[in-house]
């Protein structure tokens, strides 16, 4: 099973709302990622968790707050977002860094619209 599951598939929120994106994998991967992708652009890395600890934060605004409750789950908490934050948010997972075949497996994404 190489599946990464993201919920919800679509989300519409106002600028004052608080919402969360969820991601789950059961491949035993110890690294999990959040990416943001705008239309016709490649994915941009936001955060990486390694062994449930935040390993990389690509200078993401604090209105995005990641959380890794356990090795299978990754959340992205959203608060006071701006319309320009509307995008496809992708979760990925992989074996830990340094592994030879460090393939990243992606979920189908959450399409976020901020009104």
Q: Which C-beta is closer to other proteins: that of 73 or that of 108?
A: 108
3-class secondary structure, 17 = coil
- Does 22 sit near other proteins (CB under 8 A)? no
The token duo for 108 is 């189908």
- Does 77 sit near other proteins (CB under 8 A)? no
Q: Which positions from 47 through 66 interact with other proteins, judged by CB under 8 A?
A: 48, 50, 55-56
Cα separation, 32 vs 50, in Å, equals 7
Quickly tell me which residue has 């979760």 as its tokens: 91
The count of other CB atoms within 10 Å of the CB of residue 80 is 14
CB of 102 to other proteins, least distance (A): 7
- Does 109 sit near other proteins (CB under 8 A)? yes
């Amino acid at each position: 099973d190489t599946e990464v599951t993201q919920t919800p598939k679509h989300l519409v929120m106002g600028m004052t709302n608080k919402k969360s994106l969820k991601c789950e994998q059961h491949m035993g991967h110890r690294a999990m990622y959040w990416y943001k992708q705008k239309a016709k652009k490649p994915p941009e890395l936001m955060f990486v968790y390694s062994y449930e600890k935040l390993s990389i934060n690509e200078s993401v605004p604090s209105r995005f707050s990641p959380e890794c409750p356990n090795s299978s789950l990754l959340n992205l908490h959203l608060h006071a977002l701006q319309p320009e934050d509307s995008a496809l948010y992708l979760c990925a997972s992989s074996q830990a860094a340094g592994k030879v075949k460090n393939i990243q497996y992606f979920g189908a994404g959450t399409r976020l619209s901020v009104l």
